[in-house]
Amino acid sequence: MKVVKSAFKFKGGVHPDYNKGLANNKLIEALPMPSELVISMSQHLGAPAKCIVKPGDYVSRGQIIGERNGFISVCVRASASGLVKAVEKRLGPAGGKADAVILDTTASAPEGVEMLGDGPVLKPLDWENSSREELIARVEEAGICGMGGAGFPTSVKLNPPPGKRCEYLIINGAECEPYLCADHRVMVEKASRIRLGVEIMRKILGECAVRIAVESNKPDAIQALSEAFADISGNVEIVVLSVLYPQGSEKHQIFATVKRIVPEPPALPIDVGCVVENVSTAVAIADAVEKGEPLLERVTTVSGDAISEPKNILAPCGTKYSDLVQFCSGTKETPAKVISGGTMMGFAVPSLEIATTKTTSGILLLSSRRVFQYTSGPCINCGRCVRACPMCLNPADISKAVEANDISDAERAHVMTCIECGACSFSCPAYRTITQFCRRAKNSIRARIAAEKAKAAAAQNAAEKKEIQK
């Protein structure tokens, strides 16, 4: 095991105000079970899980309440025992509405209902003597998805299609988003669990080199990891990355750690022999396999200048933001903006009634002093966004095209490659909402493609009907 400095710097990137000092030395604290949980069926990327409980049902902790619904999907389990009060559409952290199970955790089990008991939800596995398939099945049934933000189903990622081999397992501990330090705390406090997760993943993926990527602004995490990994066998390195946003982006991290470039879409990291997993995901895998604990809780940073006591909280998935804020002794001033995630890529949400998911790495409450409302000016062609764009696009041209409603021009400028990291809007001196323009273009292109597909499918259906009639 070696600790090395990353020698490769991707083009672009920015240096936002990190504000990590608010919470990065706060120990992880467990939240007492809230009286109500709002467990969304859409906590991951891909198809939402299919809800299989109904109001009035009593569910026990760890019980499956949402079934995996498609290839890119994961199951959802009850984060606590309780009575299902309702199943209804609720606003999620990312703005969309999805089915959610509203759970009353104070209700006691009705008579005749068999409880799973306090023991492990799943049978603990002896990972060294388990087969690859058993381990993948465990990751799947534990409902694990990428916990860094995107929420891609982990069992899919750990099971590369035939003919593709993982050469590098990259463990993402960059956490480049401002304010957030959940992963940082996990690295400091749970380094040995990360190691176990890594060893299990290495068993699943076959012998591969391991790179653990951490930004240099987390020396205590690097220290903890290098102690935990000191005697690990095989090709393992801790790669210290320079502090640069978005160092945590999958493609950029692959470049910064192993100097491989993921080709243009639809290529995936596995096409260049890489699998990237977040540090918290590694811990979740270790818990699922060794302890038989499915992914029911996660560490969330609650921070921002309006929060009385910023904290890193271990809370069940489905905890309402209001409960987290209360646990932080409430607010010290009126929050003007509530953000799910960090300030660069997070989503502003309209209320504290929204609940956490498997991917909620942080929530921020910002006072009006930290909230910028502004009017955008015309583009002055300064090129700051072009220099900042880590995907090497021309955000200025894209924004002007979208402004003129010329979506096809934006598409020619490769807007679909945009990762919406926000570096362009961040650096624009005319305060243009460039990232938003990119999102607009991407949404309208996606809608167009979907409409074209639907039209083609309808035409095919009609043709088939004709065929039958003949």
Strand 297-303 with 311-316, pairing: antiparallel
Packing angle of the helix pair 191-205, 132-141 (nearest 10 deg)? 130
Kindly state the smallest distance separating residue 253's Cβ from other proteins, in Å. Answer: 12
x/- track of binding to other proteins for residues 34-73 (CB under 8 A): ----------------------------------------
Stretch that binds other proteins, among 199-207, 228-236, 336-344, 449-457 (CB under 8 A): 336-344
Q: Which residues between 316 and 335 bind other proteins (CB under 8 A)? A: 334-335
Closest separation in Å from C-beta 360 to other proteins:
15
The answer for 224, left when phi > 0, alpha when psi is -120 to 50, beta otherwise, is alpha
Work out how close the CB of 97 gets to other proteins at its nearest, in angstroms, rounded to a whole number.
Answer: 15
What character string, x for contact with other proteins (CB under 8 A) and - otherwise, covers 402-421?
-----------xx--x--x-
- CA gyration radius for the chain? 23
Total chain residues near other proteins (CB under 8 A): 72
The residues in 435-464 that bind other proteins, with binding defined as CB under 8 A, are 435-436, 439
Half-sphere exposure of 329 (CA within 13 A, CB side): 8
Identified binder of other proteins from the candidate list 139, 147, 171, 428, rule CB under 8 A: 428
CA-based angle 174:252:184, to the nearest 5? 5
DSSP 383: -
Shorter beta-carbon distance to other proteins: residue 24 or 425: 425
SS3 39: strand
The residue (of 136 and 262) whose beta carbon lies closer to other proteins is 262
Whether the Cβ atoms of residue 69 and residue 47 lie closer than 8 Å to each other: yes
Residue list 257-276, contact with other proteins (CB under 8 A): 261-264, 267
Write out the two tokens for 224. 């903890």
Q: Which range of residues in 119-127, 190-198, 205-213, 368-376 is near other proteins by CB under 8 A?
A: 368-376
- Give least dist CB 437 to other proteins, A: 9
- Which amino acid is present at 213? A
Strands (E), 200-335: 209-215, 236-241, 274-278, 297-303, 311-316
Which stretch, 13-21, 57-65, 273-281, 462-470, contacts other proteins (CB under 8 A)? 13-21
Task: Kindly state the smallest distance separating residue 436's Cβ from other proteins, in Å.
Answer: 4
Strand partners, 24: none
* Single residue of 338, 355, 363, 407 touching other proteins by CB under 8 A: 338
Q: Which lies closer to other proteins via its Cβ, residue 167 or residue 271?
A: 271
Q: How far apart are CA 220 and CA 206, in angstroms?
A: 30
Q: Whose Cβ is closer to other proteins: residue 130's or residue 433's?
A: 433
What's the CA gap between 210 and 199, in Å, rounded? 9
Query: Rounded to whole angstroms, how far apart are CA atoms 42 and 438?
Result: 24
Residue from the set 32, 110, 350, 470 that interacts with other proteins by CB under 8 A: 350
Question: Hey, which residues between 193 and 252 contact other proteins (CB under 8 A)?
Answer: 251-252
SS3 295: coil
- With CB under 8 A as the contact rule, the residue among 82, 178, 318, 362 that binds other proteins is 178
- Among positions 140-159, residues that touch other proteins (CB under 8 A) are none
Name the residue nearer to other proteins (CB basis): 96 or 429. 429
Task: Annotate each residue in 373-402 with x if it binds other proteins (CB under 8 A) or - if it does not, as one string.
Answer: xx--xxxxxxxx-x--xxxxxx-xx-----
Q: Which of 60, 159, 223, 433 binds other proteins (CB under 8 A)?
A: 433
Residue of 4, 113, 115, 348 interacting with other proteins (CB under 8 A): 348
Residues 88-107 close enough to bind other proteins by CB under 8 A: none
SS (H, E, C) 161-209: CCCCCCCEEEEEECCCCCCCCHHHHHHHHCHHHHHHHHHHHHHHHCCCE
**Distance in Å, CB of 301 to other proteins, minimum:** 15
The verdict on 1 binding other proteins (CB under 8 A) reads: no
CA dihedral 400, 401, 402, 403 (to 10 degrees): 50
Q: How many CB atoms lie within 10 A of CB 134?
A: 13
Residue 295 and residue 441: Cα distance in Å, rounded? 35
